[in-house]
A and B are shown apart, each in its own frame.
Chain A
Amino acid sequence: MNDQPVVPLMPVLADEGLPGEFVRAIREIGPRWTAPSGRVFDIAVEGTRAVISIVLEAPEAPPSEDEIDLELLELIGAVHDAVGEEWSSRAVQNTARAWGWEVSGTPS
């Protein structure tokens, strides 16, 4: 019997056909990313496809979609910053606001 604990993953976002610079940026962030809330995200990359999942440490109710989205916005902003310049994450946030998502924080 395998006593290793199984860590369940809850996939929350996938994308494919990613440009090389994005694949490299995602790999630089590493296979795990911890949000300020302490929630851990698993980042799996295969070829040009990436799947981002929440690591559920124990059986627990999943967080709300809004919480997940805000943390994904931060993670994705970090990827965009790594690819582009420092303003890239702000461009993602400002785009979200321009299209009607009331992201908290001061618009840049």
Chain B
Amino acid sequence: MIPWLPEEVCELLPFEPRWVEVAGYRLHYLDEGDRGAPCVVLLHGNPTWSFIYRDILPAVASAGFRVIAPDYLGFGRSDHARYEGDYAIAHHIGRTVALLRQTGVREAVIFCQDWGGPIGLGLELAQPGFIRGLVLANTFWGEASLFHRRVFPWRTLHGPLSGPLLLSRRRMFVNGIRLSGPPSVQIGPAWTAYTLPFEYHGGPGGTLAFPRAISLGSEHPTQALADALWERLASLDVPVRFVWGDADVVFPLGEQGAALQQRLPRGGEHPVHVVSGGRHFVQEYDPQACADACIRVAEESYR
């Protein structure tokens, strides 16, 4: 766990840090808004943490909702794993279930970006009926996109031996924020916030395990989960909105966005807010659009 933050980061993230213990690890989360109000859960991706929701959290809370943003094991202010196997996606899902149970949340609207998709949708597999509404933002369900199938610049990044060199020793995945985020987060306190977890622990956290967990086919350990999520999506009849950066090379709107749109019940009808020029970390490009989508879905879900 990271018990404190630099002052300049605190100024951007003026929320009380909260902690739970799950399976021997201390996990950090933010929890704002009325505790008795319907809940919205904001799920981050790789290599970010709840910091990415710093502008979305207060906007959704001020609309009358409880908002929880967890940091997965190996990310943000949470502990880093003692064993690489603890970063398996099923364990991330299980720990998020446990964290939310400890906060008393039994159902929620979820906002999913990047790995927030498989982990958030996994909450529904673990607890049928948990998801009351869905905001999908530059995300997927665990199967590789076309980008993930390319040797350069993706598969070599986490490949045999090259992965431990580039991502563990050099801790380079954080540079994904430079490649797929706006200039404003590539310097100053925001950059400090994004690099801090890896500097503090002197290691890569869960950043190597995530890319290796993307399924490239039927033999891959994640494929069964991806199949189960894909199956569940077809009957997940809840309010849905999309917020999607249209300049994302990892999950293009016409690929993962379109597939998700068509797979869900009432496919093709779910509103899409396109963030023009927005890359992968769309929360950093248009936090207001992300917050508005959460509020609209929550209002539809809980009315």
Contacts and interface: CB of A to CB of B under 8 A. Distances in A.
Contact of A13 (B151, B165, B176): B165
A98 B156 CA distance: 11
A72 B159 contact: no
Interface stretch (A2-10, A14-22, A30-38): A14-22
Interface residues of B, number: 23
Interface residues of A, number: 27
Interface string A93-107: 011101111000000
Interface in B159-212: 159-166, 168-170, 172-173, 175-176, 178-179
A60 B265 CA distance: 65
Contacts of A65: 169
A15 B178 CA distance: 27
23 contacts: A13-B164, A13-B168, A13-B169, A15-B160, A16-B84, A18-B161, A19-B160, A50-B161, A65-B169, A73-B165, A80-B162, A91-B151, A92-B156, A95-B157, A95-B162, A95-B166, A96-B170, A98-B152, A99-B173, A99-B176, A99-B179, A100-B178, A101-B166
Interface of A: 12-16, 18-19, 22, 50, 52, 65, 68-69, 72-73, 76, 79-80, 91-92, 94-96, 98-101
The 6 A-B residue pairs whose C-beta atoms are closest, nearest first, are A100-B175, A95-B156, A22-B160, A98-B153, A76-B161, A99-B172
